[in-house]
Chains A and B, each alone.
Chain A
Amino acid sequence: MLFSYKELSRLVDLSSFTPESLRERLTFAGFEVEGMEKMAQASKLVIGHILTCEAHPDSDHLHLLTVDCGSEGILDIVCGAPNARKDLKVIVALIGCELPALGETIKKGSIRGKESNGMCCSLLELGVSKDALDEKSPSLTGIEELPADAPVGEHNVLEYLALDDTILDINVLANRPDCLSYIGMAREISSLTGAKLNPVPEFKNTYKDEVISETLSEKCNRFDLLSIRNIVCKKETPLAIRRVLLANGVRSLDPIVDLGNYVMLLSGQPFNMYDADANASHKYVCRDDLEGKFTCFDGKEVDLIKGDLVICDGENQALCLAGVMAGDKASVTTSTKNIDVEAAIFYHANIRHTCNRLGMSSASSQLFAKERNPKMIEEALAILIDVLPEFFESYEVTSYHSDNKAETSKKPFEFSYETLNKRLGSSYTKEEIDAVLDAYRVNRVDENHLLAPIDRVDLNEQCDIDEEVFRYYPASKINPSLDHFPITHGELTPAQKMKKELRELLVSRGFEEILSFTLISEKEDQSIRVFNKDESYRIVNPMTKDHEIVRSDLLPSMIATINYNVAHQNGDLALYEISDIDTPKGNKLYLSIGLRGGKALSEKFKVREYDFFDMKGVIEAIFAKLGITPTRYRLAYSNNEQFHPKASADIFMGKDKVGTFGQLHPNFSKDKLLVAELDLGYLFNLKGLKTKFSSFNSYPMVRRDLSFKMNDKVTYAQLKKQILSIKNSYVKEVDYFDDFTDQFTGERFLGVSLLMGKEDGTLNDVEINSALEAVKNGIKANLGLTIRGE
């Protein structure tokens, strides 16, 4: 909320403060001052009187003025304002005057050959905000026009204009709705700093009870009505009050409207003013069960539904959208003579719902949305009655009625000095704590109980007092320390550890980690899925269609990320993402991998494109890291339509599919992309192998290479399995080293190397040769494959 420093000073004695020091103190008491600006700024001004005004001979819009500036003499000034004229009283910026709003210092100059010794100013040039000016203000189109009685030669122009003020933008947090008013903030400053609070008027009901207010809604627990009759308004609202409105960005209209706005700023209580002559029933009723059309004071028509709070007259005719907007009936006008002033409490949630539904907002609704305190109504009415003479030449307060169903007092609560220090880890003395209780008007009911004042909705239990004590003593008396801090064992869970290690593995293999949006478009969501094809969660209030679905699969994001990078000149990509996935069927942890293009590989500086086996290598390394041996999973050509039918694989463990990897189908992605997705949650839940040492052969092993002529039916895996199953072959390991297809004959040869050895010695040539024969014969007999060249 914006606060005029001058107006605050009127309510609380700020003589020992500057705006800067007040800002510092408030910031460390939980009221962050987010902005601080002078209402207007200029260094050397004087009030002048235009003695002569002639057209500039070389210009169609400039004027040559002679301006009487009192002790500054009569100055020649060239002025471009259309409203410059003889006898006008004006604001003159003298030579050397700094105008921060223009970023300029006024210099002696010559404009089209004519000397100019200053500048006539508008309020805008002094830094006054355009939005806050009256539509008819001359400053919007020319220079400011001062009243005829303005004192010529006066140097304290900002003071004369009541613009010598600083505006503080104070962030009032949600627990302190009482500070969303000048009185509330003044009271807080007084409590916090000991600055003297000037007396706040008290409400004394000495009025008749003629005009009735009644609430029929649970959502309005207090509805007060004050009637003022025979009003004769002043010509205009006093300047000082208009400046407070200006400081708060409220446009000054006529005295009745300004009265409501000003007292709302002072007290925090919104009012609505009714033209009493337009309501012959002399009754106002709050309801929340009306339906139908309602016309606002500005002519806008809205549909009411049940739950909207409405103020009606005695005939159930809606007069006001309560707390939000006045209606077209019974609104005050410049000719209004008799008014009924509504001061009520409307439940914050209803006001918010109505505003959100209708897209409406007003200063009142914003206050109601933050919760108002029913006990503050009397203070607000007292302030209102107190300031009436500022606005009205004559008037008569005739009637007051209150329908008050609000609870009337706060409840005492338990409090202990020891608990406060134990909780804060502090050593405040009883005296120090008592000082805070006194400052905030908190009563000590007995040894163990406190009672907070009615205006403090946030003080209801011990912790609320703990906070006040912490806020009150600025240079905190609490020494940061780890005394009493509980000692516990900190460690990642096995799954968290595995995730961390997998990420390290992938990064060390050259993969970049990505982080994509959980919310994707419906189209992306349906483009590719590896695991489940069910409905994804859908957001009912999305911000855009691009972020409407909670993804069920990571691959749409991976593919989009690859495409984004390719479009941004990054063609060689190795990416991964690990993310939680929430679906209506349950929560998963998935890993996605993407490969595109190629990078320099280990063969000397030979760059080649990534292929299926680059991806497979990563997958194998991941499984190895997780302690899942190749015998525990099997691969099958993937039947996922988005994948290449012959260069992609589903990974199964038993009957469960735990992942898919390989090249995308060219119909799905024209660009050659290799992707993978693994169900990490599933893999992390498997019982990993315990690492256990086993003895190994220490005699030298012999390596022999064989090249088999392959046919379509036999895979490498079958060949390997067959070789290992041959008895007495001494083959301990089979490894692949070459896959060669003869360009001319089309024959495919698979080179495998056999590692042979025995536990009790070194193999001799006879043993090796007979073993190789056994392998060759066995493969020929069982798989029908022959050796290349034999």
Chain B
Amino acid sequence: MTLEEFKKISQEEINKANEEITTVSDEQTLNNFKGRFLGKKSHLTDFYASMRDVVKEEKKDFGIALNDLRAKLQSLFDEKEAAFRQAKLNARLEKEKVDITLPGYNNTLGSKHPFYAVVDDVTDFFLGLGYTVADGPEVESDRNNFELMNIPKDHPARDMQDSFSINDNTILRSHTSSVQARVLAAAQGKGPIKVICPGKVYRRDNDATHSHQFGQIEGLVISEDATFANLLETLTLLLRHLFGEKREVRFRPSFFPFTEPSVEADISCFECNGKGCSLCKHTGWIEILGSGMVNPNVLRINGFDDKKYQGFAFGIGIDRVAMLKYGIDDIKRFYTNDVQFIDQFRKE
């Protein structure tokens, strides 16, 4: 057989195979196709056998043509086989179909209480400014709670904070300033001090906006040159952190026994942006916290040299911040612990 003749036969073989592959419909007929065109009894095998009769000059080209034929036939088979494999896999995958709208396993995520979400948030803020966190007991001495905070016995300011007594000298703390007395005592007259004291406090007060138990975060900074300007900046940063960068912050002079000068900080109302609404009682401003420069007498009675040291203090109502931040309507919700309430703070 000449090369010319082989090319012609080879083309006929391919045409035949092309025609036949279209009739292949299952694995059986695919195997038949393989036997007929690629198997031991196929023409292809015969062509390989006839190689030995080919004249020497044409042998190389004949070989190339033969391999080419084989590759074409093989690829016809391969393509078909791959198509079958894919169809089979597709069928299996179809059977494995899941309802992707069903819930995932172990998806339960609990939630922090919003009170503690605020504590955590404020704590993180102050850790970033280099403060530490101080804890103290809730059953406190009158001395730590009042006297060392510049509120001696019979001081009119005691009427502002009607406390729960356990005996003549022991009360449930009415503010977390009592922890500041402990911090100051531990510092033994040496600064700097930068501390926040979060915790529960108790007052004999119970109405729509007050609960006899609520939370405070008090802060205290004592150093040789911490200024009132530092306080104003700290509070501005804090209030924007809590209520958004766009909030305006204003300071009003006020009075507290343990600070002087004292200021209260207001933020522009986030509901109405200062236009006036029911949340801000139509003033455009919401009162958030009280603060001031530590009264020198507080420094003196707590063992600090008020000529050398100065500093500031501030107090934030945890419940109040949480109520404003999350739009909670009633302080009582914090303490009834309905899980439908707590569940809403997963993200916090």
Contact = CB atoms under 8 A, between A and B. Distances in A.
Contact of B233 (A422, A482, A565): A482
Nearest to A600: B103
A503 interface: yes
Residue among B102, B166, B170, B221 with most chain A CB within 10 A: B166
Interface in B40-93: none
B18 interface: no
From DSSP, what is the main secondary structure of chain A's interface residues?
loop
Contacts of B116: 503, 513, 515
B157 A424 contact: no
A324 to B, nearest CB: 16
Kindly name the residue among B137, B233, B236, B257 whose own CB sees the greatest number of chain A CB atoms within 10 A: B233
A634 B91 CA distance: 55
Contact of A518 (B133, B159, B213, B230): B213
A490 B131 contact: yes
A512 B260 contact: no
A464 B334 CA distance: 39
A550 B167 CA distance: 13
A174 B259 CA distance: 13
Nearest to B206: A543
B15 interface: no
B194 A486 contact: yes
Contact of B111 (A422, A471, A512): A512
Given A478-B228, A541-B164, A464 B260 contact: yes
A156 B110 CA distance: 67
Interface in B211-226: 212-213, 221, 223, 225-226
A478 B232 contact: yes
Contacts of A471: 253, 261
B120 to A, nearest CB: 8
B228 A537 contact: no
Interface in B132-158: 132-133, 135, 137-139, 154, 156-157
Given A349-B154, A513-B116, A519 B202 contact: yes
A540 B339 contact: no
Contacts of A173: 254-255
Given A482-B230, A482-B233, A605-B102, A513 B340 contact: no
B307 to A, nearest CB: 9
A487 interface: yes
B336 interface: yes
A652 interface: no
A432 B89 CA distance: 89
Interface residues of B, number: 82
A150 to B, nearest CB: 37
A539 B194 contact: no
Nearest to B154: A349
Interface in A557-608: 561, 564-565, 568, 570, 573-575, 580, 582, 587, 599-600, 602, 604-605
Contacts of A424: 227-229, 261, 293
B227 A564 contact: no
Contacts of B120: 500
Given A485-B230, A543-B212, A580-B138, A422 B225 contact: yes
Nearest to A421: B227
B283 to A, nearest CB: 10
Interface in A465-491: 466-467, 470-471, 476, 478-491
B154 A466 contact: no
A176 B229 contact: no
Contacts of A32: 252, 254
Interface residues of A, number: 87
A35 to B, nearest CB: 10
B32 interface: no
Residue from B206, B229, B336 with most neighbouring chain A CB atoms (10 Å): B229
Nearest to B129: A490
A88 B182 CA distance: 73
B165 A539 contact: yes
A645 interface: no
B29 interface: no
Contact of A512 (B157, B310, B342): B342
B216 to A, nearest CB: 14
A476 B232 CA distance: 11
Interface stretch (A22-30, A131-139, A205-213, A332-340): A22-30
A462 interface: yes
Chain B interface main SS type: mixed
Contacts of A599: 108
A176 B255 CA distance: 9
A570 B338 contact: yes
Contact of A425 (B127, B135, B230, B257): B230
Nearest to A509: B110
A488 B113 contact: no
B139 to A, nearest CB: 4
Nearest to A370: B156
A539 B130 contact: no
Nearest to A573: B339
A467 B228 CA distance: 11
B335 A515 contact: yes
Nearest to A572: B339
A258 B109 CA distance: 68
A424 B312 CA distance: 10
Contacts of A561: 337
A18 B252 CA distance: 20
Contacts of B228: 423-426, 470, 478
Contacts of A717: none
Nearest to B229: A425
A663 B220 CA distance: 45
A763 interface: no
A510 interface: yes
Contacts of B293: 423-424, 463, 466
B230 A496 contact: no
A488 to B, nearest CB: 4
A541 B108 contact: no
A580 B340 CA distance: 25
A172 B343 CA distance: 43
A480 B111 contact: no
A538 interface: yes
B210 to A, nearest CB: 11
B221 A486 contact: yes
A480 B255 CA distance: 20
Contacts of B202: 518-519
Interface string A343-377: 00000110010000000000000000111000000
B112 interface: yes
Q: Top 5 nearest A-B pairs by Cβ distance?
A: A425-B229, A425-B227, A510-B108, A30-B253, A349-B154
Interface of B: 102-103, 105-106, 108-113, 115-116, 120, 123, 126-133, 135, 137-139, 154, 156-157, 159-160, 164-167, 170, 172, 191-192, 194, 199-200, 202, 204, 206, 212-213, 221, 223, 225-230, 232-234, 236, 251-255, 257, 260-263, 293, 295-296, 310, 334-340, 342-343
29 contacts: A174-B255, A423-B293, A425-B229, A478-B232, A480-B229, A482-B233, A484-B230, A486-B191, A491-B132, A503-B116, A507-B110, A508-B109, A508-B110, A510-B108, A510-B110, A512-B110, A512-B342, A515-B116, A516-B335, A541-B164, A541-B165, A543-B204, A550-B166, A561-B337, A564-B338, A565-B338, A565-B339, A568-B338, A580-B199
Given A487-B130, A574-B110, 6 more contacts: A424-B261, A426-B227, A471-B253, A481-B233, A513-B113, A580-B138
Interface of A: 27-30, 32, 173-176, 348-349, 352, 369-371, 422-426, 461-464, 466-467, 470-471, 476, 478-493, 496, 500, 503, 506-519, 537-543, 547, 550, 561, 564-565, 568, 570, 573-575, 580, 582, 587, 599-600, 602, 604-605
